[in-house]
A and B are shown apart, each in its own frame.
Chain A
């Protein structure tokens, strides 16, 4: 594996499977009374969050702490960043304090890429603008594999699994990372969205595209709903939230068009009643809570592999 995890494109099939398989090993920890491993003792992981994102931050924090790493949380609000410090100076400051890995969330596309050029340690992209969010894609792939292929699936890809990603693809880092990673793992990905919310050159992406959600549902093993930002409406991406919901929202009637085994995913946070109806979000098909739990496990695997922890093989027994 490379030293950083910035894009899902950084991972070939073998890398991605190594992470998913490692996460399976680590998942067994969750059932133990003591969940902590000593593998990253003495290592420092910095959570550098320029955007508010409580769920992603605590997921990375829990992952690092379960591997016994020291965790420093740096949030931009009230910090030197609010006083005008540049990303580079923040990076150099963290570097001087001896961080081994930096987990960065930033509103600018490419921020993780830039950071990797300024620090010695590993950089993990926890979401950069409208670019990518590779650990979200990994936890999604992990969730799909567990749900549709069972728990004893080491070495298995997602070959032949049909995934439909629905909504604001244009502005979604989750969609970008998932298209790349899921197709690397052999899944057949289809994007379903109004044309205004698809990138102009989406035909270059390794996926199919549809404007009609209803026709895709019967063919889907997985439906992944993306969050719709209310402010998109004012920029004329669609006429109204009500119309969006009517054409692209997943309600109970639409869920009924899915095959029996199909699952419903959402990266959160949800707009209940907009892209997903409450009874769909709370249904047995929904993996939304599972995705959160799997997020910790998957991020543990990423940190473990990037920081080259030892002692892990003992757990496998």
Chain B
């Protein structure tokens, strides 16, 4: 069954990933008493046991294999019941099974942890080149690794704009040098994001950066003819246009979702229809020219409904939702703190509920962070002066647990699908988004869903504009492996 086409007979499981056995196990996982594995969940010694990490044989050999003991794998059959060992050798998963051993390997006791395929973000602002005061490729990818990501797509709205092969190759090389996760540059659709003429899309596709996703994110490709041409043109190299859906005329000066809050606070309204009208138009364009459309940061119930309709027609449309749109509402603007100012704006509780449902049933394909770091002075201002955007890489998985897993809307196999498998597929990213399997890439995220909820603190991002500061979020990313090498261990960068 195509993952793009919801099967009405199985509304809660469009991708066919949920195993009933996995579902029953979920209850145990979410039980703080650790029904399925009391020792592992209640005994932190296992996680910090220095014996495994100081294996003398492994110490002398940094490239030694890693043996992950007693983990629960979120895989093709749902979350497996039994605890499993995973051996990572030479960048691939060498073995999966019980009682594995390797005398030369580092050992990581993973009792109580879930193994997810390394997370993939389709929507990250790394700010370099141009705004290194907000974030750099180095700091942004550190944040990504801490959040469990092994690959991020770096958005094109840098300065200079990533609209030439030169800039996308620069970003790609900076990512390789940093090494905390893979950095896949996104190319601009139009020159300078100006929306007037196409950037050299084919040249960026042919460059060392191998660009496949093109987006003017931050701005909408509003001209319908230009959008049509872009959708058509990228078919030649299997590209996808990721649209920032925002009608510019309907959102002139807009500050906050148009509704009760904007009226009360006297902030210029940002109507849902400004997003929905562009999405509807672009779905029709994509169908007309037979091209692939990806919709960035879907934020309204109406947008989800339009995408559900387009998918029901069999049209090649995919969509993402941000963690903040799955959890936060425009009510938070009541104190005029611009940390809650974002584009698209926070919407209503009804929108949040509908976005969660759409992510659960597969209408919305994936979670993408729209990690948008800003320096302090860009947010310590009047609301209307402040920059749009929130950081999100380091909190995304925890927010998804709170909004989707703890509410029973998505199981861990679903999380693996929406945060790794599908975003990698949409981004045409080889070597990522594969469920853990022997011979597959050793990109893994080990997550402890039972970690006590605690406030999100300052992290590795250069910026601090997180809307989740002080908010109790469950869970903890314990380790991240990129091609068999840990980028994060014990919740800290290696």
Chain A residues with a Cβ under 8 A of chain B: 86-88, 106, 108-111, 113-114, 128-132, 173, 176, 199-202, 204-205
Q: A131 touching B382 by the CB < 8 A rule?
A: no
Chain A residue nearest to B252 (CB atoms) is: A235
Q: B266 touching A131 by the CB < 8 A rule?
A: yes
Chain B residue nearest to A203 (CB atoms) is: B260
A87 to B271, CA, bound (A): 29
- Tell me if B380 counts as interface (CB < 8 A to partner A): yes
Choose among A88, A129, A202 the residue that contacts B266 (Cβ–Cβ < 8 A): A129
Using known A-B contacts A86-B380, A88-B380, A129-B384, determine if residue A110 contacts B267 with beta carbons closer than 8 Å: yes
Using known A-B contacts A129-B266, A131-B265, A131-B266, determine if residue A110 contacts B259 with beta carbons closer than 8 Å: no
A201 to B262, CA, bound (A): 9
Choose among B255, B263, B267, B335 the residue that contacts A201 (Cβ–Cβ < 8 A): B263
Which among A87, A110, A129, A205 has the greatest number of chain B C-beta atoms within 10 A? A110
Q: B381 touching A87 by the CB < 8 A rule?
A: yes
Q: Return chain A residues, CB-CB under 8 Å to B269.
A: 199-200
Q: Return chain A residues, CB-CB under 8 Å to B214.
A: none
29 contacts between A and B (CB under 8 A): A86-B377, A86-B380, A86-B381, A87-B381, A87-B382, A88-B380, A108-B384, A108-B385, A109-B266, A109-B383, A109-B384, A110-B267, A110-B384, A113-B335, A113-B336, A114-B382, A114-B383, A129-B266, A129-B384, A130-B266, A131-B265, A132-B266, A200-B258, A200-B269, A200-B271, A201-B260, A202-B263, A204-B260, A204-B264
Chain A residue nearest to B263 (CB atoms) is: A199
A269 to B112, CA, bound (A): 69
Q: B263 touching A128 by the CB < 8 A rule?
A: no
Q: Return chain A residues, CB-CB under 8 Å to B259.
A: 200-201
Using known A-B contacts A88-B380, A129-B384, A200-B258, determine if residue A110 contacts B263 with beta carbons closer than 8 Å: no
Q: B336 touching A173 by the CB < 8 A rule?
A: no
Q: Return chain B residues, CB-CB under 8 Å to A114.
A: 336, 381-383
Q: Return chain B residues, CB-CB under 8 Å to A88.
A: 380-381
Chain B residues with a Cβ under 8 A of chain A: 255, 258-260, 262-269, 271, 335-336, 377, 380-385
Q: Return chain A residues, CB-CB under 8 Å to B384.
A: 108-110, 129
CB of B77, distance to nearest CB on chain A (Å): 47
Q: B381 touching A109 by the CB < 8 A rule?
A: no
CB of B273, distance to nearest CB on chain A (Å): 11
Choose among B255, B260, B266 the residue that contacts A173 (Cβ–Cβ < 8 A): B266
A313 to B295, CA, bound (A): 66
CB of A249, distance to nearest CB on chain B (Å): 24
A113 to B10, CA, bound (A): 49
CB of A200, distance to nearest CB on chain B (Å): 5
Chain B residue nearest to A172 (CB atoms) is: B266
Which among A86, A109, A111, A128 has the greatest number of chain B C-beta atoms within 10 A? A109
Chain A residue nearest to B271 (CB atoms) is: A200
CB of B422, distance to nearest CB on chain A (Å): 35
Using known A-B contacts A86-B377, A113-B336, A114-B336, determine if residue A108 contacts B262 with beta carbons closer than 8 Å: no
Q: A176 touching B266 by the CB < 8 A rule?
A: yes
A86 to B377, CA, bound (A): 9
CB of A74, distance to nearest CB on chain B (Å): 16
Q: B266 touching A128 by the CB < 8 A rule?
A: yes
Q: Return chain A residues, CB-CB under 8 Å to B266.
A: 109-110, 128-132, 173, 176
A41 to B266, CA, bound (A): 36
Chain B residue nearest to A106 (CB atoms) is: B382
Q: Return chain B residues, CB-CB under 8 Å to A113.
A: 335-336
Q: B267 touching A109 by the CB < 8 A rule?
A: yes
Q: A108 touching B382 by the CB < 8 A rule?
A: yes
Chain B residue nearest to A9 (CB atoms) is: B264
Choose among B255, B263, B267, B382 the residue that contacts A204 (Cβ–Cβ < 8 A): B263
A97 to B383, CA, bound (A): 26
A276 to B120, CA, bound (A): 61
Q: Return chain B residues, CB-CB under 8 Å to A201.
A: 258-260, 262-263
A214 to B266, CA, bound (A): 27
A88 to B381, CA, bound (A): 7
A160 to B377, CA, bound (A): 49
Choose among B258, B268, B336 the residue that contacts A110 (Cβ–Cβ < 8 A): B336
